[in-house]
Structure 1
């Protein structure tokens, strides 16, 4: 029997982990197992990860609550990509003396999600998903929705942080007017970014397209609710590249089926999206499989640092530790 450490690399849904970095030095010291499929549930995750000493997780794909962490008896170190992970229970790790190691820096990838939001906006405005489907099915323009030009239209940005600021810049390049709202946004900050601060009600009722750029939190969960969606202009486009639960999914589905709005989505309440999920058959949609930050530049930053984190831990000198108190004692 080998006494090598066992390392699990989770959530490699696109099969990119192996090619994004040189795993050989780590594989020389540990058994590395790549998981390309999502776990069915917490029981499945607990069973498959029970023998692993180190778990390297991808952002918020597999939820890692304390109830799961405490079912992993051999876990000694947890790695995560990015600086934060809302679905990871860090205190549960700290209580067991398990360091949580992050990755840092965005490089060229820091705008990738906003770039995708721009692509979804244009795809939705011009009916590209239906057009693509038609071409593949031997048809041409039949049934493709009549598009809208974006110049002169109004984009509403919910959340004017870094990504919302990029989206504002792109929209201005398209000669769109940009309005913005979030709970803490000031008129000065909006103006500096090239947008105009308005109330949430005004944004929902006057924007021709709305793009969400918010972190999921207790305050943002359900932020775009049934009443907000009801205020949207007929044919308005709702773009979400942030997190699914920010939008009331049932209300959005109802508005889509009523031909009231168009949705351009990269994120969903449940991911991976279940095969029988109603969104898959909803009309008036452009759907992407959470590709926001998934670009080569991101992986080129994430995976080498994940390997460094694991190697440093095996050397007894953990780096990029988000919970240094776990190392005391």
Structure 2
């Protein structure tokens, strides 16, 4: 059955057509996003939800989304999506961060010109029949210092445009390296230095706990007199009350804001102040950007629903379509390894250590980590997946560590998973053969070669004669067919293990019979998702 996607906001007809051309069953209801009760009533029928800003994907909506796998936001901001609720339910949240980069950067530059030359006020005055030429004295941008807070995708474009205007550019960004700054032609500085030197300051960072009110009253006091501030990023990055006071005192000469702490903004401390330019969140409002983000979200959602490729997800590592093809068997293996340990472990897990060796160490390890963690967590929560598992692990205080190393053995690549509890450590390793089938190659340090089946039986015992006969006879007498039988031991007369791949789940009475023989220290039926 084809995946089904609901478009609950106004999206380009070309985006709708992309879904159709890719074989997606698409339901275009551009106004239903405004009706939260109706949306909650119908959302359970869909695998995907494509939205803009009008739809609010609240915890209530997500709770009703019984089949939803992905939410795609045509645009950057995802404040209208409860990402925690989505992650816990295993729903991928995607946005389109690159479709409106140029548009938003250009708007910031336009706002800088507008506040430098008081263009909106001068225009209004002239429309009113006044000719107040001397009233609107502006400043040039050439030779001025622009302080850019956040030199990522959009901030980087602003830096480039500002250099074209012959401005000096200083940038504050904890993730900006010295080498990258040199290539961009900007000077990397600390925030206080930027505040002290900049004639214009523009913000291009997301709203987080760390960036909330990054331009506080204290920060504004550190700025040079006559500074002008531009915010086309996110509301809440600037203390608007403090900025209003600084504008009234003259310490700040002007401000240009496209975003506000409360939106829609019908009231704000910055409104009606002289030399403050305000626009209603128009950063992405060009026909080109609206078309780009709509097409991108349709492609991204289609890729995920049809091939498993993940692009621009906020709660899941990205996996390209090419990676998905190569990594598919390894992702299955990671889940199987996690599932084995998860089913074998009854006590609380303190840590999960994952080793990647050889060729697999060059792959997308973040995605493989998610596969391992999901496999482990499925015992406690069968509905867990690669999105929700890391969230659950974090909530439980489980430490995740990853090591990758060059080829160290006979296998081209392998994954080894070790879990740590208060009582013990337990490990398993596996690889993918040339036929694309995952195999278990080591359990508890004992070498094996076991194909993974939907139903398996794991036993441990002392290495003594009669184990194979007892297992075979008990299975045969009770109608359990063995598809594959693997043995391994640490040393002669030492600990040994057996892993049986059987056609159907081993019934509980058969498990009891094996335990009563007294030959086994452990008898454990296992189930794996091999679909």
What SS does structure 1 have at the residue aligned with 2:274?
coil
Query: Which one of the candidate residues 37, 45, 49 is aligned to 2:39?
Result: 49
1:237·1:263 contact (CA, 8 Å) conserved in 2? yes
What SS does structure 2 have at the residue aligned with 1:121?
helix
Distance 2:268 2:166 in 1: 37
Distance 1:138 1:105 in 2: 43
Higher strand fraction (1 or 2): 2
Distance 1:32 1:140 in 2: 51
* Residue number in structure 1 paired with 2:192: 201
Deviation for aligned residue 1:210: 0.6
Distance 1:103 1:202 in 2: 33
Equivalences for residues 1-329 of structure 1 within 5 A: 7-10=6-9, 12=10, 17-18=11-12, 21-22=15-16, 31-35=27-31, 46-53=36-43, 54=46, 55-58=49-52, 64-65=57-58, 67-70=59-62, 72=64, 76-77=68-69, 78-82=71-75, 85=78, 88-96=81-89, 98-100=91-93, 102-103=95-96, 106=99, 109-141=100-132, 144-261=135-252, 262-273=254-265, 275-307=266-298, 320=310, 322=313, 325=386
What SS does structure 2 have at the residue aligned with 1:247?
coil
Alpha-carbon distance change, 180 to 101 in structure 1, aligned in 2, over 3 angstroms? closer
What SS does structure 1 have at the residue aligned with 2:230?
strand
Deviation for aligned residue 1:87: 5.3
Deviation for aligned residue 1:235: 2.5
Deviation for aligned residue 1:96: 3.7
Distance 2:26 2:16 in 1: 14
1:94·1:325 contact (CA, 8 Å) conserved in 2? no
What SS does structure 2 have at the residue aligned with 1:211?
strand
1:82·1:104 contact (CA, 8 Å) conserved in 2? yes
Alpha-carbon distance change, 308 to 171 in structure 1, aligned in 2, over 3 angstroms? closer
1:124·1:264 contact (CA, 8 Å) conserved in 2? yes
What SS does structure 1 have at the residue aligned with 2:147?
strand
The two structures have a TM-score, normalised by structure 2, of 0.50
What SS does structure 2 have at the residue aligned with 1:245?
coil
1:312·1:318 contact (CA, 8 Å) conserved in 2? yes
Distance 2:231 2:302 in 1: 37
Q: Deviations over 1:241-291 (max 9, x none)?
A: 111111112211222233332111111112222x23333323321112212
2:78·2:95 contact (CA, 8 Å) conserved in 1? no
Deviation for aligned residue 1:226: 0.7
Alpha-carbon distance change, 93 to 198 in structure 1, aligned in 2, over 3 angstroms? closer
Q: Which moved more, 1:116-125 or 1:80-89?
A: 80-89
Higher relative contact order (CA 8 A, sep 6+): 1
Alpha-carbon distance change, 317 to 279 in structure 1, aligned in 2, over 3 angstroms? same
Deviation for aligned residue 1:312: 7.8
Alpha-carbon distance change, 288 to 326 in structure 1, aligned in 2, over 3 angstroms? same
1:180·1:195 contact (CA, 8 Å) conserved in 2? yes
What SS does structure 2 have at the residue aligned with 1:237?
strand
Number of residue equivalences: 309
Alpha-carbon distance change, 144 to 51 in structure 1, aligned in 2, over 3 angstroms? farther
Structure 1: runs of 5+ lacking an equivalent? 40-44
Task: Please identify the structure whose Cα radius of gyration is greater.
Answer: 2
1:216·1:246 contact (CA, 8 Å) conserved in 2? yes
Alpha-carbon distance change, 30 to 259 in structure 1, aligned in 2, over 3 angstroms? same
Distance 2:139 2:240 in 1: 25
RMSD (Å) for aligned C-alpha atoms: 3.6
Deviation for aligned residue 1:125: 0.4
Q: Which moved more, 1:304-313 or 1:178-187?
A: 304-313
Deviation for aligned residue 1:325: 3.1
Alpha-carbon distance change, 227 to 94 in structure 1, aligned in 2, over 3 angstroms? closer
Distance 2:310 2:179 in 1: 35
Structure 2: runs of 5+ lacking an equivalent? 317-384, 390-528
Distance 2:262 2:299 in 1: 31
